[in-house]
Amino acid sequence: MRHRLAICLLAAGLLLSACGPTAQVLYYWGGESEGVTEYERLSYRSSAKQSPESICAMLVMYERLVNNPGGWRQVPPPGVCAEYGWLLAQPETLAAFMETASARQKEMLTYGLSSAAFMERSRELFEMEMRYYPESIVFIKPLAERLFK
């Protein structure tokens, strides 16, 4: 009888311990507002209708996610480095950013505000994506080779 009681108490303890606070999230996707992360809000809005303002907001958001990753792994979320690198490699990105960005937004991009600086940062970001997520090499490496040949 005591054996059964001990097993029941142990089982109840295990079940109740599983109901505690949830573990920290694996990746940080930017602050949440109304259940939507900053990444979701900006990326969906930007894909629906890209504007110089949305490009500026995306660059700043990507820079924050890459330089200050949160979550349990403390690395940027999967795909973020590649998306950021792709955006920087687009010819219209620099012009849109220079024309529209505020002084504060320009300060946040510490790698420089030239075409060469954008391309160098883009290359670094593609390399970061492959380093953090080796399974992405099969997709990212051919793309990077075409962009930086």
Question: Would residue 80 count as lying in a domain?
Answer: yes
The per-residue pLDDT for 42 is: 78
Using CB atoms within 10 Å of the CB of residue 40, give its burial: 0 to 12 exposed, 13 to 18 middle, 19+ buried.
Answer: middle
| Helix, strand or coil, per DSSP, at residue 28 | coil
In a domain, 101, yes or no: yes
DSSP codes, 106-118: HHH-TT-SSHHHH
In a domain, 3, yes or no: no
Task: Report the distance separating Cα 68 and Cα 74, nearest Å.
Answer: 8
Looking at the domain assignment, is residue 46 inside a domain? yes
On whether residue 18 sits in a domain, the answer given is no
Alpha carbons within 13 A on the beta-carbon side of 113:
16
Query: Is the residue at 7 inside a domain?
Result: no
pLDDT of 20: 47
- Name the residue range of residue 65's domain: 25-147
1 domain-assigned:
no
> What is the reported pTM?
0.78
146 φ, ψ (degrees, to nearest 5): -70, -40
How many folded domains does the chain comprise? 1
Residue 31 lies in a domain: yes
Q: How high is the mean pLDDT in each 10-residue block of the chain (149 residues)?
A: 60 55 68 73 70 88 90 90 94 92 91 93 96 95 91
